[in-house]
Amino acid sequence: MNKITLIVSSIIAGFFLLLLGGGLGILYQKQQALPQLEKTTAVIKSLNSKTVPSIVAYGQVTKVEGRDISLSYSGDSIKVTMEENSSIYSFINDSVGKPIKKKVEFKEIKIGDNLSITIKPLSDGQLQGQQVFILLPFGTPIKAN
């Protein structure tokens, strides 16, 4: 009977140590992630400052849904929600091949277009689009003045 009691006690003690180790591991991981979270929060707060009027996102349109535009560039992607009154511009070549900026409607943004979007990070981490430039396709000849 003493052998059985010793084996059961050893199993219970081993299980308790396993749980204790797992709990300490989780606590350690949370403490390691906390400084990174604080840095991210500080960056979002800085970018949301009135001293940073906007920043620019560039990429190829992968999805347009409502006022949301998904951009992708070099394997990275973001989603930008456009303001209702945001300005949308496209570049077209005039008769001599010189690019001209032209105001267009939001509905003219298509999947595959290359965009440059002026964005403002919001305090909740969302990106608000303020102005869009639909860029000429890569390789389009442009003539100088």
Same domain, 74 and 102: yes
Whether pLDDT at 68 is above 80 = yes
Q: What long-range pairs does 119-126 form, CB within 8 A, spacing at least 24?
A: 119/54, 119/55, 119/56, 119/57, 119/80, 120/48, 120/53, 120/54, 120/55, 121/44, 121/47, 121/48, 121/55, 122/48, 123/44, 123/45, 123/48, 125/44, 126/81
Same domain, 41 and 61: no
Same domain, 99 and 66: yes
pLDDT of res. 61: 96
- Residues 140, 87 contacting (CB under 8 angstroms): no
- 91-111 pLDDT per residue, tens: 877 777 777 888 999 999 999
| Mean pLDDT estimate for the chain | 82
Same domain, 73 and 126: yes
Say how far residue 134 (Cα) sits from the centre of its chain.
Answer: 20
Domain that holds residue 17: 1-47
Residue 144 lies in a domain: no
Residue 143 lies in a domain: no
| SS3 readout for 63-87 | EEECCEEEEEECCEEEEEEEEEEEE
Same domain, 65 and 114: yes
Residue 19 lies in a domain: yes
Same domain, 33 and 90: no
Put simply, whether the predicted model's pTM sits higher than 0.85 gets the answer: no
- 4-41 pLDDT per residue, tens: 888 888 888 888 888 888 877 777 776 665 566 666 66
Same domain, 34 and 62: no
Same domain, 61 and 40: no
CA-CA distances (angstroms) from residue 73 to 14, 95, 109? Answer: 50, 31, 17
Residue 145 lies in a domain: no
**CATH number for 127:** 2.40.50.140
